[in-house]
């Protein structure tokens, strides 16, 4: 197929147990901007088992077309059957763009599709658009966040990217809107190497920080588990949730689900306290859209102060202790 024959903006409509991953609706919103530029229709591709009922939601959030591939082997996410199914659909329809959320599943599936189709993939894009020559580009932080790279996939199709969560807000759902529903048959079989018997939430995972209204986040400056408990107490007194930058996950004190940032979770709370966090580009990517950013750092040069609405240059432990005392009355 010639490069120019590939048409259509595809969104991989990730779902788990019949619920759409929130990033899908964000991608559909981003796709509206792309469509306004290249005029190509927006297709959401849904893989699973008995998931057709999600098509209505996808239409209301901006899909012109929904392709559903329903198959028992696609009930739970499994890399090889999903790869096979999506590859077959892409080969049949030939979209020019294919976007995935940069979720654990999206990050697992997209590189496999890249290999099976022999095309290009940008990881963790934080922006997408068309340049002055009409070339589709994906922007992603490179060299540890020191540069923003604009990546273009000139020759291969589809042009693919995993897209960082929360770079775009979903559109207001449209009522009474429908589109073209295509039910496709794919040839897949369950992965013979392993079988998913059951899925269950991780033990002690607690509530997701993604939807928290108040977040107290600790960074590398938190030197002991006792100090971490002090921050935990503050979070509890505020009715918020505890989170962290990457070093506290790396040292095993908190689960990866509590990590904010490019390779962690994106949060958008009303208030976030950043305690002893310098504010690396990768960290900021996960919290810069918080409504109120409070930074507490003993170094006045910490980059977190560049985006903070309120800041204190002090030992975070002293301020935390004072806040706890105040809240306890
Ligand atoms: C590809 C890639 C992806 C990454 N993804 C992520 C990610 O998702 N999330 C993430 O967080 N990082 C990520 N990182 C790592 C990131 O580059 C930084 O190393 C990390 O964010 C630093 O965490 P920090 O701010 O806690 O630590 P540091 O940068 O070491 O900062 C610690 C801060 O604590 C202050 N401090 C120390 N003691 C005190 C005290 N008693 N009181 C007050 N202040 C104090 C110091 O002044 C300093 O500013 C990623 C890196 C790469 C290359």
DSSP, res 289 = T
Evaluate if residue 206 carries a pLDDT over 70. no
Is residue 318, in this structure, part of any structural domain at all?
A: yes
| Protein residue closest via CA to atom 8 of ligand 1 | 261
Is residue 201, in this structure, part of any structural domain at all?
A: no
Same domain, 151 and 219: no
Pick from 86, 87, 97: which is nearest to 117 by CA?
87
Cα 284 from Cα 262, distance rounded (Å): 8
Confidence of residue 134 (pLDDT cuts 50, 70, 90): very high
Residues in CB range of 277: below 8 A, 6 or more apart = 217, 218, 219, 220, 221, 245, 283, 295, 297, 302, 304
Give the domain CATH number at 239: 3.40.50.1220
Q: What is the mean pLDDT of residues 218-228?
A: 96
Same domain, 174 and 217: no
Is residue 289, in this structure, part of any structural domain at all?
A: yes
283 lines ligand 1 (CB under 6 A): yes
% pLDDT > 90, the chain: 85
Same domain, 146 and 280: no
Q: Domain boundary at 184, 200, 224, which? A: 184
Q: Among 283, 301, 306, 322, which residue has the most ligand 1 atoms within 8 Å of its CB, making it the best to mutate?
A: 283
| Protein residue closest via CA to atom 43 of ligand 1 | 297
Residue 204: the pLDDT is: 55
Q: What is the mean pLDDT of residues 323-328?
A: 96
Same domain, 171 and 278: no
Q: How remote is the CA of residue 41 from the centroid of ligand 1, in Å?
A: 42
Q: Domain boundary at 151, 169, 184, which? A: 184
Q: What b/e sequence results for 2-33 when a residue is b if at least 16 CB atoms lie within 10 Å of its CB, and e otherwise?
A: eeeebbbbbbbbbbeeeebbbbbbbbbbbbee
Same domain, 221 and 178: no
Same domain, 221 and 154: no
Residue 142: the pLDDT is: 82
Same domain, 167 and 45: yes
Is residue 107, in this structure, part of any structural domain at all?
A: yes
pLDDT tens profile 166-200: 888 999 999 988 899 999 999 999 988 888 888 77
Q: What is the mean pLDDT of residues 122-130?
A: 95
How many structural domains does the chain have?
2
Is residue 136, in this structure, part of any structural domain at all?
A: yes
Is residue 202, in this structure, part of any structural domain at all?
A: no
pLDDT tens profile 142-153: 887 778 899 999
Is residue 137, in this structure, part of any structural domain at all?
A: yes
Same domain, 14 and 141: yes
Which numbered atom of ligand 1 lies nearest the CA of 219?
Answer: 26
312 lines ligand 1 (CB under 6 A): no
Q: For residue 261, what are the domain limits?
A: 209-328
Residue 208: the pLDDT is: 84
* pTM of the shown model: 0.81
277 lines ligand 1 (CB under 6 A): yes
Could you give the maximum distance between any two Cα atoms of the chain, in Å? 71
Residue 27: the pLDDT is: 98
Contact 165, 107 (CB under 8 A): no
Question: In what side-by-side order are the strands of the sheet with 292-297?
Answer: 241-244, 214-218, 271-275, 292-297, 310-313
Same domain, 166 and 213: no
Residue 205: the pLDDT is: 58
Q: Among 141, 144, 164, 221, which residue has the most ligand 1 atoms within 8 Å of its CB, making it the best to mutate?
A: 221
256 lines ligand 1 (CB under 6 A): no
Confidence of residue 207 (pLDDT cuts 50, 70, 90): confident
pLDDT tens profile 246-296: 999 999 999 999 999 988 898 999 999 999 999 999 999 899 999 999 999
Q: What is the mean pLDDT of residues 12-38?
A: 96
């Amino acid at each position: 197929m010639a490069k120019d024959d590939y048409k259509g903006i595809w969104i991989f409509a990730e779902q788990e147990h019949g619920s759409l991953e929130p990033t899908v609706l964000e991608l559909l919103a981003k796709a509206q901007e792309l469509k306004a530029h290249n005029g190509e229709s927006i297709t959401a591709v849904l893989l699973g088992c008995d998931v057709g009922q999600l098509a209505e939601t996808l239409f209301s959030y901006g899909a012109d077309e929904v392709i559903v591939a329903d198959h028992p082997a696609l009930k739970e996410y499994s890399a090889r059957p999903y790869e096979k199914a999506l590859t077959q659909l892409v080969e049949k329809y030939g979209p020019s763009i294919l976007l995935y959320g940069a979720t654990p599943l999206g990050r697992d599936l997209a590189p496999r599709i890249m290999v099976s189709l022999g095309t290009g993939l940008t990881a963790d894009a934080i922006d997408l658009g068309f340049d002055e020559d009409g070339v589709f580009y994906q922007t992603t932080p490179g060299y540890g966040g020191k540069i923003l790279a604009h990546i273009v996939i000139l020759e291969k199709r589809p042009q693919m990217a995993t897209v960082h969560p929360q770079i775009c807000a979903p559109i207001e759902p449209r009522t009474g809107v429908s589109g073209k529903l295509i039910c496709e048959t794919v040839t897949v079989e369950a992965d013979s190497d392993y079988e998913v018997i059951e899925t269950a939430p991780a033990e002690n995972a607690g509530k997701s920080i993604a939807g928290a209204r108040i977040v107290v986040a600790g960074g590398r400056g938190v030197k002991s588990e006792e100090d971490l408990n002090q921050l935990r107490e503050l979070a509890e007194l505020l009715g918020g949730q505890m989170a962290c930058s990457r070093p506290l996950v790396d040292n095993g004190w908190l689960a990866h689900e509590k990590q904010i940032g490019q390779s962690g979770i994106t949060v958008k709370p009303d208030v976030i306290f950043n305690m002893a966090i310098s504010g690396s580009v990768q960290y900021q990517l996960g919290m810069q859209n918080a409504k109120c950013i409070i930074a507490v750092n003993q170094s006045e040069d910490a980059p977190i102060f560049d985006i903070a609405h309120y800041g204190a240059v002090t030992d975070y432990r002293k301020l935390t202790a004072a806040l706890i005392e105040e809240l306890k009355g």
